[in-house]
């Protein structure tokens, strides 16, 4: 994903993530403000800063693309009918 893309937190994301209470962000559509790579000798990880929560970084693994969520919902609706 890239800067400006819309994302949403996964449904099983913990309420406290990297020391930040994200309860107010859960279920909301967020916009990626910037992306950084966190590296050390043992691991490499990407993180997003959101327009809705500036100065906080969240791991990429905790998000799904908003477009992907809409496609999944539409697919499930078609199978229910």
The domain that holds 40 is classified in CATH as 2.40.10
Per-residue pLDDT reduced to its tens digit, 31-55 = 999 999 989 888 899 999 999 988 8
Residue 13 contacts by C-beta under 8 Å, 6 or more apart in sequence?
Answer: 22, 26, 62
Per-residue pLDDT reduced to its tens digit, 1-37 = 899 999 999 888 888 888 889 888 888 889 999 999 9
pLDDT of residue 26: 87
Higher pLDDT, residue 76 or 57: 57
Average pLDDT over residues 57-75: 80
| Domain-located, residue 1 | no
Question: Domains in the chain: how many in total?
Answer: 1
| Domain-located, residue 31 | yes
Show the domain range for 21: 6-80
Task: Specify the pTM.
Answer: 0.74
pLDDT of residue 71: 66
| Domain-located, residue 58 | yes
């Amino acid at each position: 994903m890239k800067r400006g893309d819309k994302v949403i937190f996964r449904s099983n994301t913990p309420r406290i993530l990297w020391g930040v209470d994200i309860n107010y962000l859960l279920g909301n559509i967020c916009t990626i403000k910037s992306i950084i790579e966190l590296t050390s000798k043992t691991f490499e990880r990407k993180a997003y800063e959101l327009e809705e929560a500036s100065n906080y970084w969240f791991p990429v693994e905790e998000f799904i693309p908003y477009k992907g969520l809409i496609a999944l919902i539409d697919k499930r609706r078609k199978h229910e009918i």
